[in-house]
């Protein structure tokens, strides 16, 4: 019988991880190895961890995000899987995060600098700075009132210019807007 890796729940403190949603058959017949007080269930394998939960995002001292399947599943409880090598350290002091924008879906997300897909082009920021930029970019995606001050025919082109500057430079939103004015 294969011996399973059994990490301590404390070993995941101060980590960042992106889980990828999987269907329930992936954990069918598996034994729950940790059942949290908040109702999440954890299944450990030699390759990684499955997590069954109805809450994702900030978890105590960690940032765990779920990339949902498309089309999205109906269930409130989602099952995510992450390989052991996808857990990265997290703290408030270091510049660990960069931003990625999806202009088609009008969404922004943060990624960890240890992500193998990080090109080194987007500016790295602390958690606090990253959160501020995310709020600004979400407002740019969701609202249009800010655009009435600019002489641009294509708001999507203007939005992309501003968001790219927020992601790839250290300039403030005010500095960027002044330059475009």
Residue 105 has pLDDT above 50, yes or no: yes
Measured CA distances, 84 to 43, 138, 156 (Å): 12, 31, 39
Q: Are strands 107-112 and 57-59 parallel, antiparallel or unpaired?
A: unpaired
**DSSP-derived secondary structure letter, 103:** T
pLDDT, mean over the chain: 91
CA angle 50, 88, 75 (to 5 degrees): 30
The DSSP code sequence of 40-72 is: -EEEE-SSEEEEEES--EEETTEEEEEE--SSP
Give the pLDDT score at 19. Answer: 97
| Number of C-beta neighbours around residue 89 at 10 A | 12
- Confidence (pTM): 0.87
Measured CA distances, 9 to 13, 132, 157 (Å): 8, 30, 46
Residue 1 has pLDDT above 50, yes or no: no
Q: Are strands 88-89 and 15-22 parallel, antiparallel or unpaired?
A: antiparallel
């Amino acid at each position: 019988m294969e011996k399973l890796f059994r990490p301590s729940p404390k070993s995941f403190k101060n980590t960042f991880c992106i889980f990828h949603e999987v269907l329930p058959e992936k954990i069918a017949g598996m034994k729950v190895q940790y059942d949290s007080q908040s109702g999440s269930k954890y299944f450990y394998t030699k390759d990684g961890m499955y997590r069954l939960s109805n809450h994702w995002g900030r978890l105590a001292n960690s940032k765990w995000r779920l990339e949902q399947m498309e089309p999205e599943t109906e269930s409130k409880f989602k099952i995510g899987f992450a390989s052991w090598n996808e857990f990265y350290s997290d703290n408030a002091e270091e510049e660990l995060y960069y931003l990625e924008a999806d202009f088609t879906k009008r969404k922004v997300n943060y990624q960890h600098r240890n992500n193998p897909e990080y090109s080194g082009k987007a500016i790295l920021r602390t958690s606090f700075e990253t959160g501020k930029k995310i709020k600004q970019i979400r407002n740019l995606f969701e609202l249009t009132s800010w655009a009435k001050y600019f002489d641009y025919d294509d708001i999507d082109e203007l939005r992309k210019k501003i968001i790219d500057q927020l992601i790839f430079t250290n300039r403030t939103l005010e500095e960027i807007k002044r330059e475009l004015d």
